[in-house]
Every structure is written in structure tokens, then in C-alpha cells.
Amino acid sequence: MGTHKNWTFWRGHIFRQGENLATLYGSNSLPIPLKKIAEKRKVKNVIFRPLLVDGCLTVTDEGFNIYVCCKKGESQDVTSKFEAENEVVGLPPRMRFTIAHEIAHTLFFDLTDGRPRNRLVGDHQNTIRKLETVCSQAAARMLLPTDLVRGEIKKLNIYDPAALRQLANKAAVSPHMLVYRIGELYGYLQGIGGFAYAEHDGSVYRLKAIAMHSSLLDLFPKATTDSAVADLISNPNFVLNGGTEYEEALTLPCKSRYSKFNQKFRFVCEPQHNGKRARGTFLTFERLD
């Protein structure tokens, strides 16, 4: 395969490659082990050390080195976890995403002969921005491949926030990534609704990730990343707005081009244990009628 500058080509190609790697070397279960995938992409070393960035990739005559940021004094511990990722509690989600992201960068290189050769052609500034976006999206597909996630979804009540927490922990991914990935797979879900992850900023809970069925975008136009949860559900009784209720059923006025009508929704968030406010919580909403 030669060089390309068409991002439509690259996006499709890299996404397929990311999923294929997870399918071939991921043991057909979650979490996806990354060590073997890295080796297949000629990553010779994954090096953990304090950095100013989350991670980076360097090219060598033999392949690649991946550098991953860790705290001072943590290097030996996280290296051991990466080397034995099938036998011990693995790396935290942030590090796993960084490694997957850097592996995705290798997919832009030709590895068939000698030193890896970059096949990407394009304007420098625009290319870097698009490159990072595509690599992040490919990393999400590598860590949460479509077929595996679809299988997990069939086992769960996906509109139960506790089920989302269970799936995020099983896959060893961040809540943010899971929300966006499920949003990409909405065509495989039952019902009409949405998924979010909210964090408390010291004064209110804010949405850090949100995905919803396309038909609801006009109904919740203010519910975007970093907006307050109240922009999604304004009811003061809801626990994330300072109330005590973890589940609320609300009837919302809606309208189409030809008529006005009401729709009933159920909003649910994770329970807060021992009366303590959770720093971060999953939140779901589903249309009931």
C-alpha cells in the first residue's frame, strides 16, 4: 500500500485495522490485552517514565518504542503490570488508552521491509490534528471492539448505570470512553435514550461525556460536554442536582413540524454509597412511551 492523504481512506482503514488487531490478539474477551498487539506492530519497548505528555511514539530501525507517562517511582510497578497483563490486575485505563493510541499511530506506517516508513501525506498542522483524533478513535475500537461490546450489551440492561460501571471495569476503560463508544454503537441498542458520565466540580455535577439517540438532540440541546447536569434534567429532586432521588420519571413537552405532544423519560444515576457524594457517576435516560 502506498502513501495517502485522503482522510476518508485513513479513517476507515485505521478503524478496521484497530478492530482486527483486537479480534486477532485480544483473546475474544475483555479487557483486551495490549502487549501482544504491540508486539505484532513491531513495538520493541513500552517504557514508563515521567513525561510532560501522556505518551509518545518513536521510530527505530527495528520498529517502535512507546513512552507512557507515569509518576516518579512508579515505573517498575507499571512495567511489571504491563508485562504480566494476563495474570495480574492490569494498568489503569488512562495508561491502557495511551498505549492503544500509540499503537494506532503505527498503523500509518509500512512495516514490510526494514525501518518503518510513514505512509501519511498531508499539510502538517491539519494532519497532526486529524491524526490525533483518528488515533484516539481507533484506540477506542481496539479497547472496545464492536463485536465484543455488542455481546456484552446483550447481557446487560444498558440503561442501568450500574451495568455501565460493570462494563467499564471489565473492559478496563474510562467512563468517558465507554459513553462515547456506546453512542457510536447506538444502532445495536434497544430503546431511545442516552448515556452520560458526570463529575462534581466543587459546586455542581457537570457532564464530562454524553451520547444520545439522534432523535433527542433537539429535545436536550443544552446537554453537552461540560454543561451542568441540570441542562439535561433540571428537576431539583434529582440527586445530581442536590436532591435525594436517584431515579426520576419526567414528562417533557415536545413538538414536531406538525404537532405538539408529551414524552415520558426515566433518568437514573448510580447510587452514592454511605451518603458520600461520588466524584464521578454514570447517568442514563430512556424514553418510556
Instruction: Based on the fold, state whether residues 158 and 121 are members of the same structural domain.
Output: no
Domain boundary, last residue among 93, 123, 143: 143
Closest CA to 227 of 215, 237, 241: 241
In angstroms, rounded to a whole number, what is the distance separating the alpha carbons of residues 3 and 6?
10
Residue 39 has a pLDDT of 95
Q: Place 5 in a pLDDT band, splitting at 50, 70 and 90.
A: low
- pLDDT, position 226: 95
The per-residue pLDDT for range 63-93, each reduced to its tens digit, is 999 999 999 999 999 999 999 876 556 899 9
Answer yes or no: do 218 and 269 share one domain: yes
- 152: containing domain: 148-287
**Domain co-membership, 65 together with 192:** no
Identify the CATH number of the domain in which residue 132 sits.
Answer: 1.10.10.2910
User: What pairs with residue 55 in β-bridges?
Assistant: 68
Q: Residues 123, 152: one domain?
A: no
Do residues 91 and 135 both lie within one domain? yes
Same domain, residue pair 37 and 112: yes
Residue 120, by phi and psi: left (phi above 0), alpha (psi -120 to 50) or beta?
beta
pLDDT value of position 272: 77
- Residues 236-251: tens digit of each pLDDT: 999 999 999 999 999 8
Structural domains in the chain (count): 2
Together in a domain, 194 and 130: no
For position 56, what pLDDT does the model report? 96
Residue at a domain's end among 118, 143, 168: 143
Q: Are residues 88 and 158 in the same domain?
A: no
Confidence of residue 188 (pLDDT cuts 50, 70, 90): confident
Among 105, 120, 143, the domain boundary falls at 143
Mean pLDDT for 170-186 is: 94
Q: What is the pLDDT of residues 91-115, one digit of tens each?
A: 999 999 999 999 999 999 999 888 9
Instruction: Kindly provide the residue ranges of all beta strands, DSSP E only, lying in 19-171, ordered along the sequence.
Output: 43-49, 55-59, 64-69, 109-110, 117-118
CB distance 269 to 282 below 8 Å: yes
CB 142 within 8 A of CB 30: no
pLDDT for the residue 125: 55
Q: Where are the alpha helices (DSSP H) in 3-85?
A: 7-25, 35-40, 75-83
Q: What is the pTM of this model?
A: 0.90
